[in-house]
């Protein structure tokens, strides 16, 4: 199957890796989900697409109210960055078990487990068809992993950001709460802002808009969807200029 995109950045939330439910309890990482994601990514890599990954850390640590925890925002954000590296290592292990060559790069130096983030080195890894996982966000507090994903995608000259979620696109309202919500096939950056649709945080979204970098929001949990997206099928919602 021919691919529409040469180089992509796949953005996943940390919560996407969670298993279990509210009855049986949640586990921070579900090995079956990691395996499924690794197999989906391998298909895309085998098709010749260069893949970079950014994953959040919300399954391990999510920033909390300073008044409740006593942890100041900057300190909590660094804790969240470390959580993204743990998730990156888990996904790296899953990918390598499937025979995919990977490199984990961290915006915070930790040489024993990850390379430091170096833009030119990351691009070279991609050219050699290694999956590059970017950990530790931007390395700065007050920035989300959405912003890290947008920034890294622009730096490596990705063709598109693929935002893998548990819903199949962008809707007029939250489809899990409003059964009358309708899905957009395509929408402009400006319309997203005017309609106050929460695709990404505003910093990340503005970076994409200013650099004319399209975003596709799609359901990552449906088998085969990732391959269909990179092949150019109308899966999910396309946000463009």
**What CATH number has the domain bearing residue 198?**
3.40.1160.10
pLDDT of residue 21: 61
Q: How many CB atoms lie within 10 A of CB 144?
A: 18
Distance of alpha carbon 72 from alpha carbon 61, whole angstroms = 14
Query: Backbone phi, then psi, for 79, in 5-degree steps?
Result: -60, -40
What pTM did the predictor assign? 0.94
pLDDT of residue 125: 98
pLDDT confidence of residue 69: 78
- Residue 190: half-sphere exposure toward Cβ, Cα within 13 Å: 1
**pLDDT tens, N- to C-terminus, the chain (241 residues):** 678 999 999 999 999 998 766 556 678 899 999 999 999 999 999 999 999 999 999 999 876 677 777 899 999 999 999 999 999 999 999 999 999 999 999 999 999 999 999 999 999 999 999 999 999 999 999 999 999 999 999 999 999 999 998 889 999 988 888 889 999 999 999 999 999 898 899 999 999 999 999 999 999 999 999 999 999 999 999 999 8
In a domain, 211, yes or no: yes
Helices (H) and strands (E) in the chain, counts: 8, 13
User: Which pLDDT belongs to residue 225?
Assistant: 96
Q: Is residue 50 part of a domain?
A: yes
2 occurs within a structural domain: no
Give the range of the structural domain holding residue 127, as residue numbers without chain letter: 7-240
- Tell me if 147 is assigned to some domain: yes
Residue 36 neighbours by CB distance under 10 Å: 15
Structural domain includes residue 1: no
pLDDT number for residue 54: 98
Q: Which CA distances in Å does 90 have to 28, 65, 171?
A: 11, 28, 31
* Per-residue model confidence (pLDDT) at position 64: 67
Residue 176 in any domain: the answer is: yes
Count of structural domains within the chain: 1
């Amino acid at each position: 199957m021919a691919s529409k995109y040469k180089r992509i950045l796949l953005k996943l939330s940390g919560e996407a890796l969670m298993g279990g439910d509210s009855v049986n309890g949640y586990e921070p990482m579900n090995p079956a989900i990691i395996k499924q994601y690794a197999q989906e990514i391998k298909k895309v890599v085998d098709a010749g697409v260069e893949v970079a990954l950014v994953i959040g850390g919300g399954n391990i640590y999510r920033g909390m109210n300073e008044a409740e925890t006593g942890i100041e925002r900057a300190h909590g954000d660094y804790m969240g960055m470390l959580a993204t590296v743990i998730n990156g290592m888990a996904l790296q292990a899953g990918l390598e078990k499937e025979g995919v060559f990977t490199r984990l790069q961290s915006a915070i130096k930790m040489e024993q487990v990850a390379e430091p983030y170096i833009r030119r080195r990351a691009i070279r890894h991609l050219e050699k068809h290694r999956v590059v996982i970017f950990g530790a966000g931007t390395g700065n507090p007050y920035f989300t992993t959405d912003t890290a994903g947008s920034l890294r995608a622009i730096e490596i000259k990705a063709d598109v950001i693929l935002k893998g979620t548990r819903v199949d696109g962008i809707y007029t309202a939250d489809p899990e709460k409003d059964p009358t919500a309708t899905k957009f096939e395509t929408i402009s950056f400006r319309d997203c802002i005017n309609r106050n649709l929460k695709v990404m945080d505003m910093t990340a979204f503005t970076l994409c808009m200013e650099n004319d970098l399209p975003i596709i929001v799609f359901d990552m949990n449906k088998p085969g969807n990732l391959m269909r997206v990179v092949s150019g099928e109308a899966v999910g919602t396309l946000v463009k200029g």
